[in-house]
Amino acid sequence: MNPALIARGLRKSYQGEAVLAGVDLVLHAGEAGVLIGPSGSGKTTLLSILGGLLRPDAGGLWLDGELVAHAAVEKITRVRLTRLGFIAQHVELAPLLAIEENLALEGENAGMRRVDAQARASELIVRLGLADQLGKCPEQLSAGQRRRVAVARALLHRPPVLLADDPTSGLNWRQALTVVDLLVAQARIAGVALLMATHDMRLVPRFDRVFLINSGRLQERSPQEEVAHA
């Protein structure tokens, strides 16, 4: 089976300082990977490049065997809508739409029929403990509730590649486990390639693969090794 995501030689610098110094990464369908590293190590930069939000200075990215051209704006926008799920650090939702309408709109933009998007939205809202928030707009929700809506939005269209930048930030431990277990289950059951960045080392054992980024370089570690060093 071809890898769902391949990154080769990704480089990115800001003001002459290398943030990514030749990163290689391969993820297959059904694999749940966690990305760890100190603050400022390049986790968000790497996820942004993998998600088509940021153009690398050098290197290549392939999704399902197809080269992603970061310079082709229209094409990469379509890739983000249909083949990627992305959970950013900062949650942005349509402020005047109720949460279920936010999700249905996302599904339609990804090419889903409205009835299918609504059914999938209802399923995810329940699984993420948001059923009592139906009909509410984002400004009526807590920061943690908005983050869970963002998780549902990323999962809605069942993307083959799912990227998450610290999605449990602002959540209590029970809520964090609900989110992470849902993401990992999506990877294993639905055949999704998942890469999630986190600062919470307690979550590491729930993943299949562990990637440590530091000084612009990526190394793979075993979950047991990272827990022992935590």
58-106 tens-digit pLDDT? 999 998 788 887 767 778 888 888 889 999 988 899 999 999 999 999 9
pLDDT at residue 223 is higher than 80: no
pLDDT at residue 228 is higher than 90: no
Q: How far is CA 40 from the centre of its chain?
A: 18
CB-based burial label for 203 (10 Å; 0-12, 13-18, 19+): buried
When pLDDT is cut at 50, 70 and 90, the band that residue 1 belongs to is low
Mean pLDDT of 125-151: 92
Rounded to two decimals, what is the model's pTM? Answer: 0.90
Q: What angle do CA 125, 209, 40 make, to 5 degrees?
A: 80
Contacts of 14 (CB under 8 A, 6+ apart): none
For the chain, percent of residues with pLDDT exceeding 70: 96
Mean pLDDT of 6-18: 93
Mean pLDDT of 127-155: 92
User: What residue spans define the domains of the chain?
Assistant: 5-83+159-229, 91-151
Report domain 5-83+159-229's class.
alpha beta
Mean pLDDT of 15-36: 94
Predicted confidence at residue 229, as pLDDT, reads: 54
In the Cβ-directed half-sphere of 155, how many Cα atoms lie within 13 Å? 29
Predicted confidence at residue 71, as pLDDT, reads: 65
Predicted confidence at residue 38, as pLDDT, reads: 92
Please give the backbone phi and psi of residue 192, each rounded to the nearest 5 degrees, phi first: -100, 140
Q: In what order do the strands lie in the sheet with 217-221?
A: 84-87, 161-165, 193-197, 32-36, 209-214, 217-221
Mean pLDDT taken over the chain: 90
Bridge partners of 25?
7
Distance CA 33, CA 223 (A): 10
Which long-range contacts does 74-83 make (Cβ < 8 Å, 24+ apart)? Answer: 76/52, 77/52, 79/52, 80/51, 80/52, 80/53, 81/109, 81/110, 81/111, 82/110, 82/111, 82/157, 82/159, 83/159, 83/160, 83/161
Kindly give the residue spans of alpha helices, DSSP state H, lying in the chain.
43-50, 73-82, 99-109, 114-127, 143-155, 173-190, 223-229
When pLDDT is cut at 50, 70 and 90, the band that residue 140 belongs to is very high
Q: Is 137 helix (H, G, I), strand (E, B) or coil?
A: coil
The tens digit of pLDDT for each residue in 36-63 reads: 999 889 999 999 999 989 999 999 999 8
Predicted confidence at residue 124, as pLDDT, reads: 93
Predicted confidence at residue 63, as pLDDT, reads: 87
First-residue to last-residue Cα distance in the chain = 34
